[in-house]
Amino acid sequence: MPERSPRPDDARRAFESAGAFLRGHFVYTSGRHGADYLEKFRILEDPRVTSELAGMIAERFGPLRPELVAGPTTGGIILAYEVARQLRVDAVYVERGERGGRVLRRGFEIPPGTRVLVVDDVVTTGGSLVETRACIAEAGGVVIGIGVLADRTAGRTVTDVPFFACLTLDFPSFPPEACPLCAAGIPLASPRGSGKKVPA
């Protein structure tokens, strides 16, 4: 079970302490521009912060008695392990298939009827969660809930099972032709100075 009961404001404080919130001028993968970015790996590289946030998810879903925790690659692996550790159940990792979708590899199995909690780092479009659920259903597992570190859909994620996000975010974004950052002459940036687009 979870090792502590976090306060309601613990999630934002944990994100901030990890340096996960970045400010600048970013081009999201949607092509829109924005001044905010969440760098999830600043969280996942810090075992203390990851454990704290995983504890929030474990506390939320513990009463539903999950028997297994599943997470999609890449960030979902770390989170699935830690949530499973705190719930004292096993974890499985769901990888990208060669022909799309998600698959179980490396000898992972989900016995039919197993109650599975799905976890992931950040929800942006929900695509990886849909694929992960399909993989679990094909194996015969029963998804009893979904827990994530951050919901980037501003609470618009719709699912037929209980859903919990440690933090819900709504970063304003703009079309390039109406971007106030461009109008102000602020140069484009990226989290690591690579010039790559970042998830919208």
pLDDT at position 25 is 94
Beta bridge partners of 93: 71
How far apart, in whole angstroms, are the C-alpha atoms of residue 98 and residue 51? 32
Structural fold of domain 10-183: Rossmann fold (3.40.50)
User: If DSSP codes are grouped into helix, strand and coil, which group holds residue 180?
Assistant: helix
| Residues 158, 129 contacting (CB under 8 angstroms) | no
Lowest mean pLDDT among 3-12, 38-47, 108-117, 152-161: 3-12
pLDDT of residue 192: 52
pLDDT in tens, 67-93: 999 999 888 999 999 999 999 999 999
Cβ-proximal residues to 181 (8 Å cutoff; 6+ apart), any chain? 25, 33, 34, 35, 174
pTM here is: 0.82
Write out the two tokens for 193.
């100075």
Domain boundaries, the chain: 10-183
Tokens coding 106: 């490396």
- Range of 35-49, 119-133, 144-158 with top mean pLDDT: 35-49
